[in-house]
Amino acid sequence: MMASALLYGVIVILLVLNIVLLMLYYSAKSSPYYVVYDEETKSALKRRVTSLKEDLENELVDFDVEEWEKALEESIDEEVRSL
């Protein structure tokens, strides 16, 4: 009697585990972690990223840290005064 109950419990646990694994499999299959692009799309994305990188580098050349810190301090002071 005890052995059959234990066997029944193991079968139920394995059945539930299989259902969970199947759900995870179909979930991963429907939303993959990576996307395969064709060469044209890949080169367009690469050009876009390169363009954004150049824009960012140009912005950083013009960026003045001291001016930014001063503006930030003024903004904080205004917020404190408004409280």
Bigger pLDDT: 83 or 80?
80
CA distance 16 to 21: 9
Alpha helices in 1-83 (DSSP H): 2-30, 39-62, 65-82
Q: Is the pLDDT of residue 15 over 80?
A: yes
pLDDT tens-digit series, residues 20-65:
999 998 888 777 676 677 888 889 999 999 999 999 988 888 777 8
Residues 6+ apart with CB under 8 A from 37: 45
Is 26 buried (19+), middle (13-18) or exposed (0-12) by CB count in 10 A?
Answer: exposed
Bigger pLDDT: 11 or 5?
11
- Please give the pLDDT value at position 28: 80
CA distance 59 to 37: 30
